[in-house]
């Protein structure tokens, strides 16, 4: 009987129910689109922000002191180096998933055949790593220096050439000075060995790098016999904007209470990530490139906040729509509901009937809205980020719960009206 009544209502009031389903679908589609984008935005914004370069630099402790005192760079000046073998540990820290890219650097002053010296930098280009977590990462300056314009040749493909191959990239200013083009060879002499490197690409960095040579890490290390040694590491990490706690911790983590320390350590503040990097890289000092770190976190926070606000507003809109439609439906059916009460239906039975009808409509609207939202998310992904949005399974239960809550919230006024409805008033007047 119950099902016959539900079926009867859904078929008889299909236009009204369609409107309710449409309203729910609209709310659910916006919620699922915004949630999908919000959950995927970290990766998307992260890809965008990678173009800003690294936001954390790691140097040997001794070099850090010299840097501060004399503003000199490189392990050569201080005689201190970081160990290349510890690089993998960066992806094992508490905030490992927030480390999106990083590259080691070793600087060598190599002599050219004409007797002049040129700064030669060894680094990763697109270094492939398979991490213990199962994650795979292609890290290096190909993405960390994405603003470099390749004017000749192409980016050095480390995965194809190997990390000690005799290949390099040179800056436009140096190429012009030496009269070299992509495909030519440069002969470099270090303190320990000499190598002839084929130029695979010429870049325009718009800075000092235009006078430098970039080559695979091991190739440059071999020139000065610096096997396993690196001068610095640049890290691109996703961070949370600093607050008072982060600023206090950045000055002295020892000044924090145990609970403050836990909060700070477990929040992706740049200072917390730096601290955790220092914990795994021996004798290192990690420091944020403050401006970049702050702007990255702030952009991400603001983007997420915007998504949450749009989701909330769309759900409030849907709830108001449902409220109007369900109330109108109950008013229209007041004599039918009055009759049910008159022949013995208790309030619970009538409310259950109306809520079941609305919830069934909500399920239909919710499913349609979810898939429509997935479509909207793809439009947003392609329009804003130029790539598709990955649908996270967690969106499904969240949208389902939101749809149920919004439907129930939107139905409250109608249910209250239904509970107050007196059969005598709707069946033959109160007099």
Residues that bind another protein (CB under 8 A): 1-2, 4-5, 8-9, 11-12, 335-336, 338-347, 349, 422-424, 427-431
Nearest distance, CB of residue 418 and another protein, angstroms: 14
Nearest distance, CB of residue 327 and another protein, angstroms: 20
Q: Which is nearer to another protein, 159 or 346 (CB)?
A: 346
Nearest distance, CB of residue 244 and another protein, angstroms: 57
Q: Which is nearer to another protein, 288 or 338 (CB)?
A: 338
Nearest distance, CB of residue 17 and another protein, angstroms: 13
In which element (H, E) is residue 68 found? Answer: helix 61-70
Q: Which is nearer to another protein, 179 or 344 (CB)?
A: 344
| Residue 336 CA, distance from chain mean position | 53
In sequence order, the β-bridge partners of residue 167 are 198
Q: Which is nearer to another protein, 397 or 430 (CB)?
A: 430
In sequence order, the β-bridge partners of residue 229 are 83
Q: Which is nearer to another protein, 153 or 423 (CB)?
A: 423
The Cα-based distances of 257 to 43, 219, 246, 274 in angstroms read 33, 47, 13, 19
Q: How far, in Å, CA of 254 to CA of 248, rounded?
A: 10
Nearest distance, CB of residue 424 and another protein, angstroms: 4
Nearest to 147 by CA among 256, 23, 54, 42: 54
Nearest distance, CB of residue 8 and another protein, angstroms: 3
Q: CA neighbours within 13 Å on the CB side: how many for 85?
A: 4
Q: Which is nearer to another protein, 109 or 335 (CB)?
A: 335
The Cα-based distances of 374 to 27, 35, 65, 150 in angstroms read 13, 10, 52, 37
Q: Which is nearer to another protein, 313 or 419 (CB)?
A: 419
Q: Which residues have CB under 8 Å from 254's CB, separation 6+?
A: none
Q: Which residues have CB under 8 Å from 397's CB, separation 6+?
A: none
CB 30 within 8 A of CB 314: yes
DSSP 294-318: HHHHHHHHHHHHHHHHHHHHHHHHH
Nearest distance, CB of residue 100 and another protein, angstroms: 59
């Amino acid at each position: 009987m119950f099902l016959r009544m539900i079926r009867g209502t859904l078929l008889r009031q299909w236009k009204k129910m369609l409107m309710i389903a449409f309203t729910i679908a609209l709310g659910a589609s916006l919620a699922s689109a915004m949630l999908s984008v919000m959950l995927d935005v970290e990766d998307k914004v992260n890809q965008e922000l990678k173009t800003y370069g690294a936001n954390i630099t790691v140097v040997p402790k001794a070099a850090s002191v010299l840097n501060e005192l004399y503003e000199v760079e490189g392990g050569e000046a201080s005689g201190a180096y970081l160990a290349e073998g510890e690089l993998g540990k960066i992806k094992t820290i508490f905030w490992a998933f927030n480390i999106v890219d990083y590259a080691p650097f070793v600087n060598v002053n190599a002599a050219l055949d004409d007797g002049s010296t040129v700064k030669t930098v060894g680094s990763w280009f697109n270094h492939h790593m398979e991490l213990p977590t199962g994650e795979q990462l292609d890290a290096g300056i190909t993405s960390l220096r994405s603003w470099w314009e390749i004017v000749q040749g192409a980016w050095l493909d480390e995965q194809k050439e190997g990390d000690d191959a005799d290949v390099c990239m040179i800056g436009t200013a140096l190429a012009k000075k030496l009269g070299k083009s992509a495909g030519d060879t440069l002969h470099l002499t270090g303190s320990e060995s000499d190598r002839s490197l084929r130029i695979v690409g010429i870049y325009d960095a718009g800075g000092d790098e235009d006078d430098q040579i970039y080559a695979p890490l091991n190739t440059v290390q071999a020139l000065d016999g610096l096997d396993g040694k690196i001068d610095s590491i640049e890290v691109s990490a996703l961070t949370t904007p600093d607050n008072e706690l982060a600023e206090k911790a950045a000055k002295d983590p020892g000044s924090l209470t145990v609970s403050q320390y836990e909060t700070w350590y477990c929040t992706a503040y740049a200072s917390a990530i730096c601290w955790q990097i220092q914990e795994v890289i021996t004798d290192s000092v990690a420091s944020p490139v403050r401006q970049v770190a702050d702007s990255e976190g702030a952009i991400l926070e603001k983007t997420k906040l915007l998504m949450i606000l749009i989701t909330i507003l769309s759900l409030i809109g849907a709830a108001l729509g449902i409220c109007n439609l369900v109330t109108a439906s109950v008013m229209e059916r007041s004599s039918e509901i009055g009759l049910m009460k008159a022949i013995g239906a208790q309030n619970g039975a009538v409310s259950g009937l109306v809520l079941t009808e609305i919830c069934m409509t909500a399920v239909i609207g919710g499913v349609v809205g979810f898939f429509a939202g997935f479509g909207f998310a793809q439009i947003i992904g392609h329009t804003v980020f130029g790539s598709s949005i990955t649908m996270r399974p967690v969106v499904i239960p969240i949208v389902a719960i939101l749809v149920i809550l919004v439907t129930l919230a939107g139905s409250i006024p109608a249910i209250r009206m239904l509970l107050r409805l007196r059969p005598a008033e709707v069946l033959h007047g109160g007099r």
